[in-house]
């Protein structure tokens, strides 16, 4: 079968790597792809935000299955256009993608189905929002509604930080909610939330509109530097499984959060088809929802793909064809860990154009590989083109061994223009 993956980050390289191992995959195209993806698949330039352009490409290239990686095309309705055109597609509709596109919408769904989450109030008016923050006090969480668009979330430990965040959100877009995705009307400018304490973990569940199938847990490292210091990033490393998400807590999350949400979405005429990524806060043996994403996490996808391997294609196909009921995950008793290497200056101002050496010499097996994100080839040399550049990923029978294997590879990468954290996995590996 001919398969098209939309996206060009570490997540899509990992998806391509796993899908390519399945004998059902004859031809694999990734748009736009990157230098690492180009070694295992064809890369194509299409406007992945435009469903009609993707549909034309699918027709011309006899594509049988489209996998959508990032949230932006999902929120823009690319999956709807493809499915309406009879094209087999993995990824939720624009209506279902509102679970990521609008935090106010997600809160409304949680309230309707009783899913435990932080208490939250949406605001469209700055003065009302300021009054609410002053009445509640700190710590308090301020979230710009809509796709984050670089602003996102402020966890304010002091009132002043909350006030500053509100002023900034309203100053940037006085007339409309910030970060609004094209075509998706935002529900509020800002959502103000109760601060939750606990340990965060990510839970990934496939849904075909009816049936659900958990496909793994992971923990991300959001801060740029060691000991969870420095600015927030897209994620500097991850591992799977996340020991904090025990079988019992996963069952509770399925029972009280995931299934009620999906039932509520179906009831509203927006059944969910794709992977639902639940960010959970775990405290006292109970999970509460922090947020939903409507796609795989990056870098969480890299560790999930390394653990699941070739069967991923069968699972995604079962999901897209409504046959998840028949699907089973073939679990191995293993652990995967990925270390993200980012360009110096990331996340504020990553320096691009530096040369990376040594990646080609590293072993590339089912136990270890380097996924690329922001890379390109220039006269044969590997060049950094973006913020997060490489995901150095390994698998082993223990997390400690997976970590050691990943850092051995990091040591052998010669890249003065980049940096990484040296403590990925610390939480799960702490004595
Ligand atoms: P979000 O984009 O909603 O996932 O928020 C980004 C990050 O902010 C989360 O991963 C948490 O670390 C933190 N966060 C979000 N909401 C809360 C909350 N209600 N209480 C504490 N931390 C939060
Ligand atoms: N690693 C966090 C995310 O993909 O949203």
pLDDT digits (tens, 9 = 90+) for 280-328: 999 999 999 999 999 999 999 999 999 999 999 999 999 999 999 999 9
DSSP class of 21? T
Nearest CA to ligand 2 atom 4: 297
- Ligand 2 centroid – CA 238 distance (Å): 10
Atom of ligand 1 nearest to the CA of 193: 19
195 C-beta closer than 6 A to ligand 1: yes
Which pLDDT value is given to residue 164?
94
Q: pLDDT at residue 346 above 90?
A: yes
- Ligand 2 centroid – CA 237 distance (Å): 10
- Ligand 1 centroid – CA 281 distance (Å): 9
Confidence of residue 425 (pLDDT cuts 50, 70, 90): very high
Confidence of residue 391 (pLDDT cuts 50, 70, 90): very high
Strands 286-293 and 368-372: unpaired
Q: Which one of the ligands is nearest to 279 CA?
A: 1
- Euclidean distance between CA atoms 13 and 305, whole angstroms: 10
Confidence of residue 384 (pLDDT cuts 50, 70, 90): very high
Which residues have C-beta within 8 Å of that of residue 411, sequence separation ≥ 6?
A: none
196 C-beta closer than 6 A to ligand 1: yes
Substitution site in 155, 201, 203, 276 for ligand 1 pocket (most atoms within 8 Å of beta carbon)? 155
Which pLDDT value is given to residue 431?
74
Substitution site in 15, 220, 295, 296 for ligand 2 pocket (most atoms within 8 Å of beta carbon)? 220
Which pLDDT value is given to residue 170?
87
Ligand 2 pocket (Cβ < 6 Å) reads 220, 234-235, 293, 297-298, 300
Q: Which one of the ligands is nearest to 142 CA?
A: 1
Domains of the chain, earliest start first: 2-90 (3.40.50.20), 120-326 (3.30.470.20), 335-429 (3.90.600.10)
- Ligand 2 centroid – CA 56 distance (Å): 30
Q: pLDDT at residue 378 above 90?
A: yes
pTM above 0.85, yes or no: yes
- Ligand 1 centroid – CA 412 distance (Å): 35
On whether the CB atoms of residues 343 and 352 are closer than 8 A, the answer is: yes
- Euclidean distance between CA atoms 191 and 187, whole angstroms: 10
Nearest CA to ligand 2 atom 5: 297
Task: Locate 5 and state its tokens.
Answer: 């993956």
- Ligand 2 centroid – CA 235 distance (Å): 6
Reported as a single tens digit per residue, the pLDDT across 238-254 is 999 999 999 999 999 99
- Euclidean distance between CA atoms 334 and 398, whole angstroms: 6
Nearest CA to ligand 2 atom 3: 297
Nearest CA to ligand 1 atom 13: 155
- Ligand 2 centroid – CA 298 distance (Å): 5
Atom of ligand 1 nearest to the CA of 195: 20
CA distances from 66 to 55, 214, 371 (A): 10, 21, 21
List residues bridging with 117 in a β-sheet. 289
Reported as a single tens digit per residue, the pLDDT across 142-173 is 998 876 544 578 999 999 999 999 998 888 75
Place of tokens 């923050």: 133
- Euclidean distance between CA atoms 168 and 27, whole angstroms: 47
Phi, psi of 306 (to 5 degrees): -65, -35
On whether the CB atoms of residues 265 and 97 are closer than 8 A, the answer is: no
Atom of ligand 1 nearest to the CA of 279: 4
Which pLDDT value is given to residue 123?
92
Confidence of residue 67 (pLDDT cuts 50, 70, 90): very high
Substitution site in 291, 293, 294 for ligand 1 pocket (most atoms within 8 Å of beta carbon)? 291
Which residue has better confidence, 122 or 30?
Answer: 30
Which pLDDT value is given to residue 188?
67
- Euclidean distance between CA atoms 181 and 184, whole angstroms: 5
138 C-beta closer than 6 A to ligand 1: no
Which pLDDT value is given to residue 386?
85
Q: Which one of the ligands is nearest to 11 CA?
A: 2
Reported as a single tens digit per residue, the pLDDT across 361-372 is 999 999 999 999
Q: Which one of the ligands is nearest to 106 CA?
A: 1
On whether the CB atoms of residues 38 and 62 are closer than 8 A, the answer is: no
**What mean pLDDT is predicted for residues 187-205?**
92
- Euclidean distance between CA atoms 231 and 224, whole angstroms: 6
Percent of the chain with pLDDT over 90: 89
């Amino acid at each position: 079968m001919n398969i098209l993956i939309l996206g060009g980050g570490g997540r899509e390289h990992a998806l391509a790597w796993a899908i390519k191992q399945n004998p059902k995959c004859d031809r694999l195209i990734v748009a736009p792809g990157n230098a690492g993806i180009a070694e295992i698949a064809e890369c194509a330039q299409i406007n992945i935000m435009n469903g009609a352009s993707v549909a034309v490409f699918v027709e011309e290239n006899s594509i049988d299955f489209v996998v959508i990686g990032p949230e932006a095309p999902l929120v823009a309705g690319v999956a709807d256009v493809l499915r309406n055109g009879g094209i087999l597609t993995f990824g939720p509709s624009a209506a279902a993608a509102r679970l990521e596109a609008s935090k106010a919408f997600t809160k409304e769904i949680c309230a309707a189905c009783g899913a435990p989450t932080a208490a939250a109030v949406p605001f469209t008016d700055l003065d009302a929002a300021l009054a609410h923050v002053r009445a509640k006090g700190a710590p308090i969480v301020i979230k710009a509604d809509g796709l984050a668009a670089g602003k996102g979330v402020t966890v304010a430990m002091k009132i002043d930080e909350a006030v500053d965040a509100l002023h900034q959100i309203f100053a940037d877009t006085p007339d409309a909610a910030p970060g609004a995705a094209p075509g998706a009307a935002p529900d509020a400018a800002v959502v103000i939330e109760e601060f939750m304490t606990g340990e965060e973990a990510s839970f990934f569940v496939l849904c075909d509109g009816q049936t659900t199938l958990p496909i793994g847990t992971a923990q991300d490292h959001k801060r740029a530097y060691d000991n969870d210091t420095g600015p927030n990033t897209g994620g500097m490393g991850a591992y799977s499984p996340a020991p904090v998400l025990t079988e019992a807590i996963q069952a509770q999350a399925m029972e009280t959060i995931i299934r009620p949400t999906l039932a509520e979405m179906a009831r509203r005429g927006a059944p969910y088809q794709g992977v639902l990524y639940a960010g959970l806060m775990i405290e006292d043996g109970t999970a509460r929802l922090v947020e939903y994403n409507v796609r795989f996490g990056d870098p969480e996808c890299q560790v999930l793909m390394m653990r699941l391997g070739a069967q991923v294609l069968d699972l995604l196909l079962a999901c897209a064809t409504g046959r998840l009921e028949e699907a089973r995950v073939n679990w191995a008793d293993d652990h995967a860990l990925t270390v993200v290497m980012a360009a110096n200056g990331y996340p504020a101002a990553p320096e691009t154009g530096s040369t990376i050496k040594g990646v080609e010499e590293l072993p590339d097996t089912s136990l270890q590989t380097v996924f690329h994100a922001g890379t390109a080839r220039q006269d044969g040399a590997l060049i950094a083109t973006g913020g997060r550049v490489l995901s150095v990923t390994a698998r082993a029978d223990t997390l400690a061994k997976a970590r050691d294997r990943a850092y051995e590879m990091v040591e052998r990468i010669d890249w003065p223009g980049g940096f990484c954290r040296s403590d990925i996995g610390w939480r799960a590996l702490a004595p």
